[in-house]
Amino acid sequence: MLKEVIANQKNYQPGLSTDCVIFGFHDNQLKVLLIKTKFSEDWALPGGFVLLDEGIDEAAVHVLKGRTGLEGIFLRQFATFGQANRNSIEKSQQVLDFYGISSEEGQWFLNRFVTIGYYALVDFLKAVPQPEGKNEIVEWIDCNAVPSLIVDLKEIFDKALETLRMELNQVPVGYNLLPEKFTIPELQKLYETILGRQLDRRNFLRKITSIGILTKLDEKKSNVAHKAPNLYSFDKDRYEEVLKIGLHQGW
């Protein structure tokens, strides 16, 4: 991929990239999609460069589709990262050396890059991690066990998680992370996992139902050891409406 980009560098915006923090929820764990880089023992976030004829949001969407196979993903731009030394020339040169690219040919890559951070929420069971080539590894990692990341990507991940936690007070979360049918305890567990703390069951039920985004189904969860809880789904129209107008409550 890098060789192809450098060979066609005239088609890309110099010094600009995107990095995407893709969250999924599975087995009561908030997970993030990470890439094992070919040129380092460290891991990376999915990311890419920006074509001259595309917007940065469009570039991020291309990264998400390329790495998960999904379209229509919940996507938010959350910060810009442009520290002068965020990608050192020494480390960038190591990448060029790995791919057999000379400093002269890869000067475009050695220059300073500013990256736009996005976070995305996806259905873990529908997302299919997509590596670039047979030597690359793409895996879901528990957010509580994130390994060492290249350059400043740990800072980007931390900021994305901080933003997600903050925005739980402003927008509903769950439509993109849970299956179509779910229980209130499962929804509460999602919120607790993101926030990193327990929530009072009655208060959570009162607050989440007051938003008006849930539809109680005439079904109960099957294959459970105790009393079967009711199943719910999201009212998509109301959910989209609340996303636009925002929430005014805290967890």
| pLDDT per residue as tens digits for the range 63-116 | 999 999 998 888 999 999 999 888 888 889 989 998 899 999 999 999 999 999
Task: Answer yes or no: is 116 within a domain.
Answer: yes
- For tokens 């209130």, the residue is 184
In this structure, the answer to whether residues 59 and 9 fall within a common structural domain is yes
Task: Point out the domain boundary residue: 142, 167, 192.
Answer: 167
Q: Answer whether residue 229 shows pLDDT above 70.
A: yes
Q: Cα(129)–Cα(71) distance, rounded to whole angstroms?
A: 14
Q: What is the pLDDT of residue 85?
A: 84
- The CATH number of the domain holding residue 111 is 3.90.79.10
In this structure, the answer to whether residues 100 and 141 fall within a common structural domain is yes
In this structure, the answer to whether residues 103 and 137 fall within a common structural domain is yes
The 3-class SS string of 103-151 reads CCCCHHHHCCCEEEEEEEECCCCCCCCCCCCCCCEEEEEEHHHCCCECC
Condensed to tens digits (0 to 9), the pLDDT of residues 45-68 reads 999 999 999 999 999 999 999 999
Q: What is the pLDDT of residue 248?
A: 77
What whole-number percentage of the chain has pLDDT above 90?
76
Nearest to 45 by CA among 123, 163, 153: 153
Task: Answer yes or no: is 251 within a domain.
Answer: no
**Mean of pLDDT values over 121-146:** 92
**Mean of pLDDT values over 24-51:** 94
Q: Cα(163)–Cα(152) distance, rounded to whole angstroms?
A: 17
Is 152 within 8 Å of 83 (Cβ atoms)?
yes
In this structure, the answer to whether residues 33 and 101 fall within a common structural domain is yes
In this structure, the answer to whether residues 31 and 114 fall within a common structural domain is yes
Per the structure, the complete domain to which residue 215 belongs is given by 184-245
Q: What is the pLDDT of residue 164?
A: 95
* Token pair of 11 as six digits: 């088609």
Task: Answer yes or no: is 177 within a domain.
Answer: no
Q: What's the burial of 24, exposed, middle or buried (CB within 10 Å: 0-12/13-18/19+)?
A: buried
Q: Answer whether residue 225 shows pLDDT above 70.
A: no
Task: Point out the domain boundary residue: 167, 197, 213.
Answer: 167
Domain count, the chain: 2
Is 109 within 8 Å of 95 (Cβ atoms)?
yes
In this structure, the answer to whether residues 118 and 198 fall within a common structural domain is no
In this structure, the answer to whether residues 162 and 190 fall within a common structural domain is no
Q: Answer whether residue 205 shows pLDDT above 90.
A: yes
Q: What is the pLDDT of residue 36?
A: 93
* Token pair of 213 as six digits: 């985004």
In this structure, the answer to whether residues 80 and 14 fall within a common structural domain is yes
Nearest to 116 by CA among 63, 174, 192: 63
In this structure, the answer to whether residues 7 and 89 fall within a common structural domain is yes
In this structure, the answer to whether residues 203 and 241 fall within a common structural domain is yes
Q: Which residues pair with 138 in a beta bridge?
A: 35
Condensed to tens digits (0 to 9), the pLDDT of residues 232-244 reads 999 999 999 998 8
Is 25 within 8 Å of 41 (Cβ atoms)?
no
Segments of 122-246 assigned E as strands: 137-142, 214-220, 230-234
In this structure, the answer to whether residues 68 and 144 fall within a common structural domain is yes
Task: Point out the domain boundary residue: 140, 167, 194.
Answer: 167
Per-residue pLDDT band for 224 (boundaries 50, 70, 90) equals low
In this structure, the answer to whether residues 160 and 191 fall within a common structural domain is no
**Mean of pLDDT values over 220-235:** 84
- The CATH number of the domain holding residue 224 is 1.10.10.10
Task: Answer yes or no: is 72 within a domain.
Answer: yes
Q: What is the pLDDT of residue 249?
A: 75
Q: What is the pLDDT of residue 72?
A: 86
